[in-house]
Chain A
Amino acid sequence: MAAVTLLHTKGLSRRFGGLKAVQNVDFDLKQGEIRALIGPNGAGKTTFVSLLSGRIVPSEGQVFFEGEEVTGDPAWRRVRKGIAYTFQITSVYAKLTAYENVALAAQSALSRSGAVRKKDLDRAVAEAIEKVGLSDRARMKAGELSYGHQRLLEVAMGLALRPKLLMLDEPTQGLSDAEIDNFCNLVRDIARTATILLIEHNMPVVMQLADSITVLNAGEILANGTPAEIRANPAVQAAYLGS
């Protein structure tokens, strides 16, 4: 099977005043893979995925999705094209029920192909909530869920968008070990239908999930490779792993 490029960037840069948060990044993502994006705090990971999702506009460079340039597309249109992003800082609708949170995502996905019928919506929501294991909490307000469950709700929302690319920004941050195991299974499950870009600090999680890894340091790509290659890379060790 020839690898199809789902997303790629050319010379992508973003400055904040004098600070170069992302510098001249050429990046390729193959369809169907699980890619981990790692790097020390402040390396520019969140900024980079924000450029991909359209939350932030680049200072320079281009983003292509499925061979089509999306650099000028607003964030909402990229989501409709299949690029979904779950926030690093949990950002659910605290006052709405878990069901409503996911329904908003599912409605967005369903409306891409015409009018939304209540029956289809209910089914899509039930499916996504079931997948993350929150079925018995669907009627609870999102703000009343535990932190771990809120993170799972975020993932359910990402799932319900039926994305081609799902970008998860530090999804396991603050989760317990049991929750992390559960989460790894979930990601593998999602990967059967979507390409995944995973920003993650937890190295065991990265090593067991990722097909390949990109290391970002000071806004630049330091290395690309398989988990084994990255582990063995001296530059990566110096900048990040070995410390």
Chain B
Amino acid sequence: MRQHSAFKVVGLHLAVIVLFFLAQFVLPEYHHLAVTRVMILAIFALGYNLLFGYTGLLSLGHALFFAAGLYGAGLTAFHLGWSVPAAFAAGVGAGFFASLVIGVVALRTSGVAFMIVTMMFSQVAYLASLYFTTYTRGEEGLVMPEAARHFDLFGVTFSLTDPSLRYNIALLLLAVTLIVILIVVRGPMGRVLIAIRENEPRTLMLGYNTFLIKLKAFVISGTISSVAGAAYALLFAYVGSSFASIQYSIEALLFTLLGGAGTVLGPILGTFAMFYLIDIVSGFTVAYLLVTGIALIALVLFFPKGILGTIRERWMTWLP
């Protein structure tokens, strides 16, 4: 029976990736670009969900890790002329170190204090991106130079101005992230993360160093968020302060809640649905932030398990 469910799980996730792959051949230009963005933002939400959905730690500062990737990649490409792969690595490295250092500090707290501490760190990063405007040009931001629009790998030149290449890079990163999340969540570590979420003192008394395990989850989560940030900077050639603002932390939370916190595919579904909801609404009104706010309140009050969380509860209990 368990073998059977493992087969279903792998099949379902493979199907999602194949669906995204095939979609590029039928999507009109506008939606082709939109889905590219959705996939990158979904990586951010997947990273967020590992910490919030599985470990039960509500961070209000994940924009910082997205921004660490964004600026790590963007600033090295813009000011130091680093190649695309090197800049990408710089962004992910920045996210890794930021999450390690902030994790060590923030995980000394829990609950509301944890929310406040993560939010404050993020606010400091946001303000720093405005303060060092000589390098970042603050809200106005930086547009990536021509040199950062293409790169050579294995003797082949890739051009990031090619929408199809961007789409498939985003898809590749999404697929890799999804695999990483699946391995973590379905493996021994995932079991302990869920145990920490459900009852941390008990988990400690089962012989688990919960601080260290939470730190691992924090670092994986932050680093995945920075993958999204670095990819965003390099694929869409723009780096700006607004990505470091609290609003982006909230969006990661919103995507996760909508799709279903603590489900593997939930964040992808949530990002997709929320992106298009905002897209449609902003055709009628400029107050799309209001929609975000209302959606958040409605979700928490009436639909706390999200789309996939509800589906799992009712029909598909085998869903990871």
Contact = CB atoms under 8 A, between A and B. Distances in A.
Contacts of A91: 199, 201-202
11 contacts: A77-B207, A77-B209, A79-B207, A92-B202, A96-B194, A96-B195, A100-B191, A103-B191, A104-B192, A108-B208, A161-B207
B65 to A, nearest CB: 27
B205 A53 contact: yes
B56 to A, nearest CB: 12
Contacts of B210: 76
A95 B205 contact: no
Nearest to B212: A76
A105 B206 contact: yes
Q: Which of B192, B195, B201, B205 has the most CB of A within 10 A?
A: B205
B203 interface: yes
Given A93-B198, A95-B198, A96-B194, A157 B188 contact: no
B300 interface: no
Contact of A108 (B194, B198, B206): B206
A66 B212 CA distance: 26
B204 interface: yes
Interface of B: 188, 191-192, 194-195, 198-199, 201-210
Q: Which 4 A-B pairs have the closest CB atoms?
A: A79-B207, A108-B207, A80-B207, A93-B198
B199 A93 contact: yes
Given A91-B201, A108-B208, 4 more contacts: A53-B205, A93-B195, A96-B198, A112-B207
B184 to A, nearest CB: 14
Contacts of B203: 104
A75 B205 contact: yes
A74 B194 CA distance: 21
B183 to A, nearest CB: 13
Contacts of B188: 107, 111, 116
B194 A55 contact: no
B206 A55 contact: no
A74 B201 CA distance: 12
Contact of A104 (B191, B201, B209): B191
Given A103-B191, A104-B191, A104-B192, A79 B199 contact: no
A48 interface: no
A138 to B, nearest CB: 12
Main secondary structure of the interface of A (DSSP, over half): helix
Contacts of A104: 191-192, 195, 203, 206
Nearest to B213: A76
Contacts of A76: 204-210
Nearest to A78: B207
Contact of B205 (A85, A103, A107, A112): A85
Contacts of A74: 204, 209
Q: Which of A53, A79, A112 has the most CB of B within 10 A?
A: A79
A171 to B, nearest CB: 15
B268 to A, nearest CB: 24
Contacts of B192: 104, 107
Interface in A180-239: none
A87 to B, nearest CB: 8
Nearest to B195: A104
A55 B205 contact: yes
Contacts of A85: 205
A109 B207 CA distance: 8
Contacts of A108: 206-208
B202 A93 contact: yes
Contacts of B205: 53, 55, 75-76, 79, 85, 87
Interface string A101-131: 0011101110110001000000000000000
Q: Which of A79, A95, A104 has the most CB of B within 10 A?
A: A104
Nearest to B198: A93
A31 B198 CA distance: 34
A98 to B, nearest CB: 14
Contacts of A55: 201, 205
A89 to B, nearest CB: 11
A142 to B, nearest CB: 10
B207 to A, nearest CB: 3
Contacts of B201: 55, 91
B212 to A, nearest CB: 9
A79 B191 contact: no
A97 to B, nearest CB: 10
A100 B190 CA distance: 12
Contact of B206 (A77, A79, A112): A79
A79 B202 CA distance: 12
A208 B105 CA distance: 51
Nearest to A106: B206
A53 B205 CA distance: 8
A109 B188 CA distance: 12
Nearest to A80: B207
A139 to B, nearest CB: 10
A150 to B, nearest CB: 13
